Amino acid sequence: MSNTTSVLYDHPGPRAKVRNAVLTVVFGVALLALLWWIYQKFDEAGQWSGALWKPFAESGTWTGFIIPGLRATLFAAATGMVFSLAFGVIFAVGRLSEHRWISIPAGAVVEFFRAVPLLLMIFFIFYAVPFMIQAPVSAFWAVVIGLTLYNGSVLAEAFRAGIRAVPRGQSEAAYAIGMRKSLVMRHILVPQAARSMLPVIVSQLVVLLKDTALGYIVAYPELLQRGVNDLSANYGNVVAAAMVVAVIYIILNSLLTMLANWLDRRSRNRGGRAPKVADTPQPSVPQGAGEGAVVGA
């Protein structure tokens, strides 16, 4: 392990440490200068005026705009996450099937929905599908179905890569004791793949949460629609509203990442915990017995 680490990463020497420190200071100063320039431009435009930020100190702004939009965003995101994970697992297993009549159509579905832009997909489901089924599609289901098809296809590829990364000896040992392929997938390969691909899965779920903002194309009352468009239309503070909503999105994504990290640590601790072995009583050896004495004789 130490040899591998020394090959992949060399500790910086004295000159490299000085260079890194100088670059850190330079980029830090440049970042502060950029932030100050942005602050100055907003100040010149009057965006820091108290009248533009005053609505956020009123309860009606939160109860009438931001909280309802946040609730709609979380509901659509939670529903899309559940469906996307199920879609990803099913089509990942389908692509790995030994039957071509299953693997080929599953691969075609995944590749198609990965290639279509999500915004176009939501637009199509809301406006075009009703002509085919002769029934309206609500904005909520247009957003959720679009999120499921796109993000589920991306997750399907992540699960497929994770399943293939599991050592082959795991499945071979399961087949050797008589397990069927469905049991091997459900109890051995998929759980290990989900654990190893957890960072990728969480990253895609964060993308899904942010993609709920695309629901504005079908007037779904999510956080961006209610907290920025509708709020700024009433108070004329689009920049202030966008900043507040951006902070809310950052908090939500940070909480989701923290939850995923906690689940990852918990699963690793549980998986790495050695099983307890019951104490087995040892046979007593009579005193004075020689090396060749037989115990219990």
| Domain locations in the chain as residue ranges | 60-268
Report the pLDDT value the prediction gives residue 284, as an integer from 0 to 100.
52
CB 91 within 8 A of CB 156: yes
Scored b (16 or more CB within 10 A) or e, 132-146 reads: eeeeebebbbbbbbb
Per-residue pLDDT at 280:
47
| Per-residue confidence (pLDDT) for residue 282, from 0 to 100 | 52
Q: Let me know: does 193 contact 166? Beta carbons within 8 Å.
A: yes
Q: What is the model's pLDDT at position 45?
A: 83
**Dihedral, CA of residue 72, residue 74, residue 78 and residue 83, to nearest 10:** 40
Task: Please tell me the predicted confidence (pLDDT) of residue 278.
Answer: 46
Q: Along the chain (297 residues), what's the average pLDDT of each consecutive run of 10 residues?
A: 50 83 93 93 86 89 92 94 93 87 92 92 93 91 95 91 80 81 79 79 89 90 90 88 92 86 73 47 51 44
The pLDDT of residue 159 is: 86
pLDDT for res 293: 45
The DSSP element (H or E) to which 190 belongs, if any, is helix 190-196
Superfamily of domain 60-268: MetI-like (1.10.3720.10)
pLDDT at 295: 44
Residue 31: per-residue pLDDT: 94
pLDDT at position 172 is 78
pTM to 2 decimal places = 0.76
pLDDT score of 2? 46
Residue of 201, 186, 162, 173 lying closest to 82 (CA atoms): 201
What's the CA gap between 175 and 169, in Å, rounded? 10
Q: Tell me what pLDDT residue 9 has.
A: 55
- For the chain, the first-to-last Cα distance in angstroms comes to 50
pLDDT at 181: 74
| Confidence (pLDDT) at 287 | 52
